[in-house]
Amino acid sequence: MLKKNNKQKKVKPNLSGEFILSKNKKNIKISQLKSIGISPPKNIENHVDVKHISLKERISLDKNDLLKLAKKINPTTQKKDINYIPFEKRIPLSNNHLLELAKKVNPTMNVPDISFKISKKYPPNKTSLALETIKSLGCKINEISTEELFYKYEQNGFIYPEKKKKLAPYLEKVRENWRKLSKSKKTLLTVLTSETSDKGVWASVCGWKELDSFWCCQHLVSSGNPVASRSVLLGFQKYLIDQSTSKKEEFVQNWFRPNNKYANKVFGSLQKTVGPKKSCLFEFCYSGVQLQSNLKTSRETIIKECTNEDISELTKFLADNRHSVFAKSGEFTKNNIHLESMNENYKAVGLFKRRHILLAYLNKVLVGAAIIYRSPIGLNFSFLENRCELIIKNQLPDNHLPTICESLLDQARNFYQNFEAPYIPVITDPHSATILTIMGHDIIRKYNQSIWSKDSYYDWYKNVDTIFSKVVEREKKKHLLTKLR
pLDDT tens track for 57-66: 444 455 666 6
- The answer on pLDDT for 4 being more than 90 is no
CA atoms of 241 and 458, how far apart (whole Å): 8
Q: Which stretch of 4-13, 316-325, 337-346, 445-454 has the lowest confidence by average pLDDT?
A: 4-13
Task: Give the bridge partners for 341, in sequence order.
Answer: none
Q: Which DSSP state fits 405?
A: H
Average pLDDT over residues 470-482: 67
Query: Which helix (H) or strand (E) segment is 365 a member of?
Result: strand 365-374
pLDDT tens track for 136-170: 999 999 999 999 999 999 999 999 999 999 999 99
The pLDDT score that the predictor gives to residue 86 is 43
- The answer on pLDDT for 16 being more than 90 is no
CA atoms of 244 and 273, how far apart (whole Å): 21
CA atoms of 31 and 457, how far apart (whole Å): 49
Is 394:320 a contact under the CB 8 Å cutoff? yes
Cβ neighbourhood burial of 324 (10 Å; 0-12, 13-18, 19+): middle
- Residue 424 phi/psi, 5° resolution? -95, 125
Q: What is the pTM of this model?
A: 0.73
396 HSE (CA, 13 A, CB side): 23
The pLDDT score that the predictor gives to residue 65 is 65
Which of 115-124, 265-274, 294-303 is most confident? 294-303
Helix (H, G, I), strand (E, B) or coil at 375: coil
The pLDDT score that the predictor gives to residue 262 is 80
The pLDDT score that the predictor gives to residue 449 is 96
Spell out the domains of the chain, with CATH numbers in brackets: 19-116 (no CATH), 139-269+453-484 (3.40.630), 284-452 (3.40.630.30)
Please name the residues in contact with 57: beta carbons below 8 A apart, sequence gap of 6 or more. none
Stronger pLDDT, 252 or 463, i.e. the higher one = 252
The pLDDT score that the predictor gives to residue 96 is 61
pLDDT tens track for 239-255: 999 988 667 889 999 99
**What band does 35 get if pLDDT is binned at 50, 70 and 90?**
low
Q: Which stretch of 6-10, 161-165, 427-431, 456-460 has the lowest confidence by average pLDDT?
A: 6-10
The pLDDT score that the predictor gives to residue 169 is 96
The pLDDT score that the predictor gives to residue 180 is 97
**Beta-carbon neighbour count of residue 165 at 10 Å?**
9
- The answer on pLDDT for 189 being more than 90 is yes
Cβ neighbourhood burial of 21 (10 Å; 0-12, 13-18, 19+): buried
The pLDDT score that the predictor gives to residue 273 is 81
- Residue 84 phi/psi, 5° resolution? -65, 130
Task: Give the bridge partners for 194, in sequence order.
Answer: 139, 203
pLDDT tens track for 272-284: 788 889 999 999 9
The pLDDT score that the predictor gives to residue 110 is 60
